[in-house]
Structure 1
Amino acid sequence: MDLSIIIPNFNGKKLLENNLPKVLEAGKDCEIIIVDDASTDGSVEFLKKEFPQIKVLQTSYHPELVYSENSLELFRDSGSSSNKGFSASVNLGVSHAKSDFVFLLNSDCYPEKGSIEKVIKLFEDRNLFAVGFAQKNLEDGKTVIRGRALGKFEKGFFVHSYGSPDKTTTQWVGGGAGVFKKSLWDRLGGMDEIYNPFYWEDIDLSYRALKSGYSIRFVPDAYVVHEQSKGTIRSHYSDSYIKSISYRNQILFVWLNISDPYLLLSHFFYYPYEVIKSWVRLVWYVVSRRKNKIRSSSDLSFIKADIASELKFFLALGKRFQRKKMWKKKDKECFVKN
């Protein structure tokens, strides 16, 4: 099969022990690449001993991959300072892939037998960039089917939600359970590392593809099993850190991609409004000594995201200028609302 399976890893030894044999079974004859991002749990040693047939790349051996974070270090959390981030890890893996198609898979996932074949055959469509799998998420002892996404622009920001898993349209193909055409990946420039350490990079890549005139699809009956509650991000980073990164990247997404004048006007009205509102509420909680930890934590996370995104404003503008050369569709043509 002309497919390279790429699995980014950070301290996911236990997940790999459980899932890698299932990946090997489902992806027979596929090239498998694991990109280790400065793990400290013995992941690399385990892989080299137990799975010598698998190609293991280490971001620490690639000094060109620079940890992308702001100088104020507002987001420094429990992750290692030598981490390069999800986008950098995936891009490194794709650059070493020998196949025409790359299957990005999280370490807490494995594909069900026969699902890969269902996805690959769709790439007879030369304009197709990526295909997403349905994800069987194991949550509180129940299996919930997800993977299809919807998107819209609301109150100055691009917001996303889960879509009904019985349709073939989707707003984006997830970077933890999707197959991508490598030639178009290279043409689009891969995942943008401005989003490091994680979140929104796959939404951004899919949106760039849609806006550049390519198509993406979702396959309701091609499954990966996703034990998300045990994943790397939730296991190694605090909720406030994750929320700050998500807010920051949501802001950067608009600056990088949105060109509709009305939507931009909406953004530059609501964005300052949300910043001011967060500051006012946070000060009020402090002065009045009210104990609403959830609300105050959310406000603080948004304030951190505001500062961090502003530090990347000119970098985002430069990237936006380069992206404009490939834009063929209007923003409203790219939204998948139902």
Structure 2
Amino acid sequence: MKIAVVILNWNGVQLLEQFLPSVVQYSPEATIYIADNASTDDSISFVLANFPSVKNVKNDTNLGFAGGYNEALKHIDAEIYALVNSDIEVTKNWLQPILKTFENEAETAIIQPKILDFKRKEYFEYAGAAGGFIDEYGYPYCRGRIFDTLEKDNGQYNDNCEIFWASGACFFIRSSVYKELQGFDADFFAHQEEIDLCWRATNKGYKIKYNSESIVYHVGGATLQQGNPKKTYLNFRNSLLMLTKNLPKNKLYWILFCRMILDGIAGLQFLSKGKFNHFLAILKAHGSFYLLFLSNLKKREKFQSKKYYNTKSIVCSYYINNGKVFAK
């Protein structure tokens, strides 16, 4: 199958210097592209000078993760898109198990590899681990990572199974499905757009898979650190937008109401810890959500899958029932 590995870049020359060599070395089956989001550093000149086989697609402005990929992929011809963060180290034969699954399973539209922590390679990495799920209220978690608890990789997820969402850090999708779904939602800019896309794919009857035979290592937080208030803003706002678009009709307003309360509790926790900027980020997220509510309500599809969550409340499971790992 014709596959394109597409690395979104914004002022990431140092990351490209460190991680692009592994992608070039271990991806003989693919054409490799740098999708540049209007970088002002030496990213493009570095790639041109050192990796002449790598193709460049340059966006005129920084469109974020969602808009950046949407624009770049208009200019890339392939059956499979492999959307890879610039802080990902790939391993030998990482593409072959993914391509085999796509070839053998026509209903599988999206695949995620095993994502381990680049800094602690025996542990799963925060952004995806061994495949993602959400609870009834839309809170995401992974096999191998629930909130800030990361599991050690002891082979417990050495399987190929169906999941609810695949990590945007290393995200494989059939180009035909990407186009059918009109790509990521550019309103999101960054964060949780991959969960939204997977949810929309599920509503269309497609399957999302995890494949443990393909292994990559992710640094994480290289573009926007975990403690950045902008990250808090995007996560809270985008989660509400995603729920508005994808929840079953009979759950929509009740779940949104519950989330407003839970978000308020989270805001008060930030305030009690002296994190005033994060408290303000949640207020700003809610304000932005109200402004975007009606336009996102119009994006709802006719059919919404009623079975979208794997556990009722991951917050209760984690904090009350001691469900620190996925098996519990």
What TM-score, normalized to structure 2? 0.82
Q: Is the 1:100–1:181 contact (alpha carbons within 8 Å) kept by the matching residues of 2?
A: yes
Q: 1:202 to 1:278 in 2, by over 3 A?
A: closer
Q: Is the 1:275–1:306 contact (alpha carbons within 8 Å) kept by the matching residues of 2?
A: no
Q: Do residues 214 (structure 1) and 211 (structure 2) align? A: no
Deviations 1:175-209, CA, capped at 9 Å, x for gaps: 2212111111111111111100x101100111111
Give the alignment partner of residue 94 of structure 1, picking from 70, 73, 82. Answer: 73
Please provide the CA RMSD for this pair: 2.3
Q: Which has the larger radius of gyration?
A: 1
User: Matches of 1:281 and 1:177 in 2, distance apart?
Assistant: 32
Q: Do residues 264 (structure 1) and 252 (structure 2) align? A: yes
Once the two structures are superposed, the pairs formed by residues 146-161 of structure 1 within 5 Å of their partners are 146-153=129-136, 157-161=137-141
Aligned partner of 1:300 in structure 2 is: 280
User: Matches of 1:277 and 1:120 in 2, distance apart?
Assistant: 44
User: Matches of 1:149 and 1:272 in 2, distance apart?
Assistant: 23
Q: Is the 2:268–2:279 contact (alpha carbons within 8 Å) kept by the matching residues of 1?
A: no
Q: 1:215 to 1:111 in 2, by over 3 A?
A: same
One-letter amino acid of the structure 2 residue matched with residue 302 of structure 1: I
How far does residue 160 in structure 1 lie from its aligned partner after superposition? 1.1
Once the two structures are superposed, the pairs formed by residues 106-117 of structure 1 within 5 Å of their partners are 106-117=85-96
How far does residue 45 in structure 1 lie from its aligned partner after superposition? 1.6
User: Matches of 2:309 and 2:166 in 1, distance apart?
Assistant: 14
How far does residue 148 in structure 1 lie from its aligned partner after superposition? 1.3
Aligned partner of 1:199 in structure 2 is: 191
How far does residue 318 in structure 1 lie from its aligned partner after superposition? 2.4
Q: 1:18 to 1:272 in 2, by over 3 A?
A: closer
DSSP 3-state at the match of 2:92: coil
How far does residue 277 in structure 1 lie from its aligned partner after superposition? 5.8
Aligned partner of 1:232 in structure 2 is: 223
DSSP 3-state at the match of 1:259: coil
User: Matches of 2:268 and 2:274 in 1, distance apart?
Assistant: 15
Count of residue pairs the alignment pairs up = 294
Give the alignment partner of residue 183 of structure 1, picking from 176, 191, 198. Answer: 176
Deviations 1:128-168, CA, capped at 9 Å, x for gaps: 101101012124x4531224112111xxx311112143442
Q: 1:260 to 1:2 in 2, by over 3 A?
A: same
Q: Is the 1:131–1:179 contact (alpha carbons within 8 Å) kept by the matching residues of 2?
A: yes
One-letter amino acid of the structure 2 residue matched with residue 200 of structure 1: Q
Aligned partner of 1:53 in structure 2 is: 53
The answer for unaligned runs of 5 or more in structure 2 is: 145-156, 312-325
Aligned partner of 2:149 in structure 1 is: none
Q: Which moved more, 1:21-30 or 1:159-168?
A: 159-168
User: Matches of 2:297 and 2:19 in 1, distance apart?
Assistant: 40
Q: Is the 1:33–1:93 contact (alpha carbons within 8 Å) kept by the matching residues of 2?
A: no
How far does residue 83 in structure 1 lie from its aligned partner after superposition? 1.9
The answer for unaligned runs of 5 or more in structure 1 is: 61-81, 286-290
Aligned partner of 2:291 in structure 1 is: 311
One-letter amino acid of the structure 2 residue matched with residue 313 of structure 1: F
Aligned partner of 1:162 in structure 2 is: 142
Q: Is the 1:105–1:176 contact (alpha carbons within 8 Å) kept by the matching residues of 2?
A: yes
One-letter amino acid of the structure 2 residue matched with residue 232 of structure 1: T
Q: Which runs of 4+ in 1 moved over 3 A?
A: 164-167, 271-282
Q: 1:143 to 1:40 in 2, by over 3 A?
A: farther
User: Matches of 1:104 and 1:281 in 2, distance apart?
Assistant: 35
Aligned partner of 2:305 in structure 1 is: 330
How far does residue 275 in structure 1 lie from its aligned partner after superposition? 6.5
One-letter amino acid of the structure 1 residue matched with residue 143 of structure 2: G
How far does residue 274 in structure 1 lie from its aligned partner after superposition? 4.8
DSSP 3-state at the match of 1:255: helix
User: Matches of 2:112 and 2:283 in 1, distance apart?
Assistant: 33
DSSP 3-state at the match of 1:233: coil
Aligned partner of 2:99 in structure 1 is: 120
Q: Identity, % of aligned pairs?
A: 24
What TM-score, normalized to structure 1? 0.80
Give the alignment partner of residue 172 of structure 1, picking from 153, 165, 173. Answer: 165
Q: Is the 2:162–2:207 contact (alpha carbons within 8 Å) kept by the matching residues of 1?
A: no
Q: Is the 2:181–2:201 contact (alpha carbons within 8 Å) kept by the matching residues of 1?
A: yes
